[in-house]
């Protein structure tokens, strides 16, 4: 039993360890666990953040009725900007409305600015052909210098989206990469060196060229220029700093993970649904087998891109989401199987424990009975010693009295009287026999007080033994008493009772005939007294 219990315990422990095995420690700092916990908590409050953003958008919408054309255009573009990372379709509607109002008012510069905004929105939604058509309608030669930066930025964004799209053939993507580089360089040539678009693009160029220290310096400048550390622009700078290590250097550090998590926290807090950071968090958690956390991030990411309406983001995240869902399903199936096995092992352990408890209880009862038996045996032994010592003492006294009496009789010369005293047929022998039986009966009943009652319970009701008032035991009970004390031989019993062997046989036969139970059962009861 001990061996089986030990094997089951080891199996249960191994199973418990295997259930907790799987997650690996990803690169981290002292803050990483807290940042991940904060992000996972914020994912439960996305509806709250969305309501907050929608309230801001509604405030701007209420200003549209009665606004002048220029104000109407500005308000529509502001609403489109607020929608730009939340709901791309709504953003396109309001940016298009701004362009339509500008065209109707003959405000070409505002119309072109609105067109560039529409193009950027179409690109972020994955509508590349539509974005190209809008950009092609904007005449570069008519743009002011200040509009060239968003113009080249829109073209660079378009070709960057195309060259990173998995839907495009590889040979096309190489051409798109070349055009992206061309428009990015054009942007760098006309943009102010402290402009965020300039810093962002030159940082990316240095990172692609392997100049990681230079890329980080430009990133640091970007983060200093951005005054609001909770803004989407600041989150984008954090994401780009993460990408220098993770994507370009191909090295994931704890600091980079922290940058990514902080970026995701800000973007979730700002209801930015075009959240590339969540896709990266999801991938890293999945790589390090943090399946449950990855599943939560994956669900949040997929819900956000569905709400945002970006075809490109859905394609990017869909395959990853499928993999994570499959892994999560496998994990759940594995855990269910382990749980079933654990329940089976626990049931076996419980059964083994119950058997062990029952055995312990049984052994304790046996020990208790043995202890009581030993106590009783000790009492019996003491009683025997006392009785034997008393009998010997009594017979020594009686012997001394008898010897003194014989001696006195012989000294007086009464030989005949001395012979009479020592005759076997004399009254003295009968008296000594009666005294012996009396002492034996008294000692036996004192040691075994339930003896007569137990014997009678085994006899037929009409055959029960009732000793005379002048005796404690009769000959039948006395024979049983000697049997209880271990004397099985009838001749030995006859010698002890000073009667014939035939008398003993007859009395034992009569006793058997009076039994109400089988003889073997009766003997067992007597032996256990």
Q: For the chain, percent helix, then strand, then coil, each to nearest 5?
A: 80, 0, 20
With beta carbons less than 8 A apart as the criterion, state whether 267 and 305 touch: no
Out of 92-96, 267-271, 444-448, give the one with best mean pLDDT. 92-96
- 381 vs 100, residue with greater confidence: 100
pLDDT cut 70: percent of the chain above it:
81
| Band of pLDDT at residue 11, cut at 50, 70 and 90 | low
Least confident of 160-169, 248-257, 281-290: 160-169
- Enumerate residues 6+ apart whose C-beta is below 8 A from 360: none
Residue 382's pLDDT is 56
- Domain chopping of the chain, boundaries: 25-324, 423-527
Please state the rounded mean pLDDT for residues 214-222: 96
pLDDT tens digits, residue range 363-417? 777 767 655 655 665 555 555 555 555 555 666 666 677 678 777 777 777 777 7
For residue 189, pLDDT beyond 90: yes
pLDDT tens digits, residue range 490-500? 888 888 777 88
Residue 425's pLDDT is 57
Least confident of 267-271, 295-299, 377-381, 487-491: 377-381
| Band of pLDDT at residue 332, cut at 50, 70 and 90 | low
List phi, psi (to 5°) of 500: -80, 160
Tokens standing for 422? 């020592």
- Enumerate residues 6+ apart whose C-beta is below 8 A from 205: 184, 188
* Cα gap 307→123, rounded to integer Å: 16
For residue 276, pLDDT beyond 60: yes
271: left (phi over 0), alpha (psi -120 to 50) or beta: left
Residue 334's pLDDT is 61
Least confident of 106-120, 201-215, 321-335: 321-335
Average pLDDT, the chain: 82
Arch. (CATH architecture) of 423-527? Orthogonal Bundle (1.10)
pLDDT cut 90: percent of the chain above it:
39
Match domain 25-324 to its CATH number in 1.10.3470, 3.30.365, 1.25.40, 1.10.150: 1.25.40
Residue 17's pLDDT is 44
């Amino acid at each position: 039993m001990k061996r089986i219990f030990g094997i089951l315990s080891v199996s249960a422990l191994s199973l418990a360890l295997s259930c907790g095995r799987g997650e690996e420690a990803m690169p981290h700092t002292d803050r990483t666990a807290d940042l991940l916990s904060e992000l996972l908590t914020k994912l439960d409050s996305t509806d709250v953040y969305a309501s907050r953003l929608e309230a801001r958008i509604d405030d701007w919408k209420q200003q549209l009725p009665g606004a002048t054309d220029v104000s109407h255009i500005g308000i529509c573009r502001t609403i489109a900007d607020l929608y730009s990372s939340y709901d791309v379709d709504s953003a396109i509607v309001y940016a298009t409305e701004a362009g339509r109002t500008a065209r109707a008012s003959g405000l070409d510069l505002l119309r072109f600015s609105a067109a560039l905004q529409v193009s950027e929105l179409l690109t972020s939604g994955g509508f590349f052909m539509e974005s190209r058509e809008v950009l092609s309608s904007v005449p570069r030669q008519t743009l002011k210098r200040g509009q060239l930066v968003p113009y080249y930025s829109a073209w660079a964004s378009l070709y960057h989206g195309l060259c990173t799209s998995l839907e495009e053939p590889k040979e096309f993507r190489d051409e798109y990469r070349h055009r992206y580089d061309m428009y990015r360089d054009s942007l760098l040539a006309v943009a102010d060196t402290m402009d965020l678009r300039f810093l962002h693009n030159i940082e990316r160029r240095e990172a692609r060229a392997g100049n990681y220290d230079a890329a980080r310096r430009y990133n640091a400048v970007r983060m200093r220029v951005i005054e609001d550390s909770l803004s989407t622009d600041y989150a984008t700078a954090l994401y780009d700093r993460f990408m220098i290590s993770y994507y370009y250097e191909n090295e994931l550090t704890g600091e980079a993970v922290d940058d990514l998590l902080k970026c995701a926290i800000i973007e979730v807090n700002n209801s930015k649904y075009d959240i590339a950071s969540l896709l990266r968090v999801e991938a890293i958690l999945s790589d390090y087998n943090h399946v449950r956390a990855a599943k939560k991030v994956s669900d949040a990411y997929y819900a956000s891109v569905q709400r945002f309406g970006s075809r490109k983001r859905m394609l990017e995240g869909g395959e990853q989401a499928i993999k994570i869902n499959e892994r999560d399903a496998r994990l759940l199936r594995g855990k269910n199987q382990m749980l079933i096995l654990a329940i089976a092992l626990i049931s076996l352990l419980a059964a083994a424990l119950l058997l062990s408890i029952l055995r312990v209880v049984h052994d304790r009862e046996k020990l208790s009975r043995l202890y009581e038996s030993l106590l009783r045996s000790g009492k019996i032994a003491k009683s025997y010693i006392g009785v034997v010592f008393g009998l010997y003492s009594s017979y020594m006294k009686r012997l001394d009295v008898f010897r003194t009496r014989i001696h006195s009789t012989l000294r007086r010369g009464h030989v005949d009287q001395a012979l009479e005293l020592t005759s076997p047929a004399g009254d003295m022998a009968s008296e000594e026999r009666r005294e012996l039986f009396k002492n034996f009966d008294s000692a036996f009943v004192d040691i075994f007080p339930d003896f007569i009652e137990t014997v009678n319970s085994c006899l037929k009701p009409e055959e029960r033994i009732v000793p005379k008032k002048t005796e404690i035991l009769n000959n039948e009970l006395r024979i049983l008493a000697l049997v209880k004390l271990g004397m099985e031989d009838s001749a030995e019993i006859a010698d002890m009772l000073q009667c014939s062997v035939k008398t003993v046989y007859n009395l034992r036969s009569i006793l058997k005939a009076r039994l109400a139970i089988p003889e073997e059962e009766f003997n067992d009861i007597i032996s256990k007294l």
